[in-house]
Structure 1
Amino acid sequence: MTLTRREVLLAGGGLAVLCAAPALAAGEIVIEMKGSARGEQVWFAPLGLAVAAGTRVRFVNRDPGNSHTATCYHPSILDRPRRIPRAATPWDSGFLMPDDSFAVVPAVPGVYDFYCQPHEMAGMVGRLVVGRPGDPGWEEPDYPPGDLPEVALAAFPAVAEILRQPVLKGGTP
């Protein structure tokens, strides 16, 4: 049997897709928890992120000098205001030591605000936009003014900005 050039190219392309499949199938995005060398600044990197529903989001503590949490704002966790979609499952990583990680798979479209419990007052917060406005099940955020400390509120990137630029670096390089 002799293969045509087209069949060889198609087979080669299929092989390339299969080789890349573990990375594609994983569907995982990483958000790092970082801190400056002396610990005076802490942040999530990226600060804002847009993902499709069902994407695995892994939080990894890359700060050698601090433990951190990845905690969504929800009344069931430390009686905080709800800042995730109503139908979403709340999450809290617990304290992550350096190089520890925690993953969550948000399935409900909407805006998910999260923070580090010991560092919220240092502005260590982040925003995850799952899906897009208009997606089935999308819920517009309806947060009351002043529901969080001012330093946290000031750190959140705008949803429109995240949708324009799906990965917002933020923090300190």
Structure 2
Amino acid sequence: MPSRRRFLLGLAGGGLAALVPSGLLHAATAELVEMRGTPRGERVWFAPLGLAVAPGTTLCFANRDRVNSHTASAYHPGVFGRPLRIPAGAEPWHSGYLLPGERFEVTLTRPGVYDYYCLPHERAGMVGRIVVGRPGDVGWQEAAEGHEGLPPAAASNLPPVAAILAAGRVQPEGSS
């Protein structure tokens, strides 16, 4: 019978892996969402514009725009009084202003549709949509119906959920 000390040394030397299911040892999934803009700043966007992910995915918003500061902000009444466009009970987020080269991370756990925007560029249509899980998942919540309370450019820029689910990711038109 092995001693307690030998058992603990075995765990420290990698024996723990045999006791923990392999899926629990891997890092959570992460996805990159870039904040982009043209060199003179006349056009701004998130890339991808729409993204389908599994619950528990961490999103990394990275400002790759050389001339503009951006935010990644959930559509939620607690974030500047915007309409609720994330699943009820999901944690809203606001990155604060990200200067070029800065990043912000958020992990989405509740299944459903999450709409978000860039605070200074929402009226220019800088919005995005993340679909977490799939319709039929326990707790799934669709995006708010209609586009009440959204600026016209933001409302017209949100890709349909079906298009995101079909493609996995939707890139903005004309982006590189």
Structure 1 length-normalised TM: 0.84
Amino acid at match of 1:66: N
Bigger drift between 127-136 and 140-149 goes to 140-149
Which string of whole-angstrom CA distances, capped at 9 and with x for unpartnered residues, describes residues 119-142 of structure 1? 001100000000000001101223
Distance apart, 1:25 and its partner CA: 2.3
Aligned to 2:148: 146
Measured in 1, the distance between the counterparts of 2:111 and 2:59 equals 14
Measured in 2, the distance between the counterparts of 1:98 and 1:51 equals 26
Correspondence for 1:79 among 75, 78, 81: 81
Correspondence for 1:108 among 104, 107, 110: 110
Aligned to 1:156: 158
Amino acid at match of 2:159: P
Measured in 1, the distance between the counterparts of 2:65 and 2:147 equals 32
Q: SS at the partner of 1:57?
A: strand
Aligned to 2:66: 64
Bigger drift between 145-154 and 97-106 goes to 145-154
Which string of whole-angstrom CA distances, capped at 9 and with x for unpartnered residues, describes residues 89-146 of structure 1? 0000000001100000010000000000000011000000000000011012233543
Amino acid at match of 1:90: P
Equivalent residue pairs, number: 151
Which string of whole-angstrom CA distances, capped at 9 and with x for unpartnered residues, describes residues 37-74 of structure 1? 11100000000000000001000000010100000100
Give ranges in structure 1 of 5+ residues lacking alignment.
1-20
Amino acid at match of 2:168: P
| 1:7-18 → structure 2 map (5 Å cutoff) | none
Q: Where does structure 1 differ by over 6 angstroms across 4 or more consecutive aligned residues?
A: none
| RMSD between aligned residues | 1.4
Correspondence for 1:92 among 86, 91, 94: 94
Identity of matched residues, %? 54
Aligned to 2:4: none
Aligned to 2:120: 118
Measured in 2, the distance between the counterparts of 1:147 and 1:164 equals 28
Measured in 1, the distance between the counterparts of 2:36 and 2:141 equals 30
Measured in 2, the distance between the counterparts of 1:87 and 1:153 equals 23
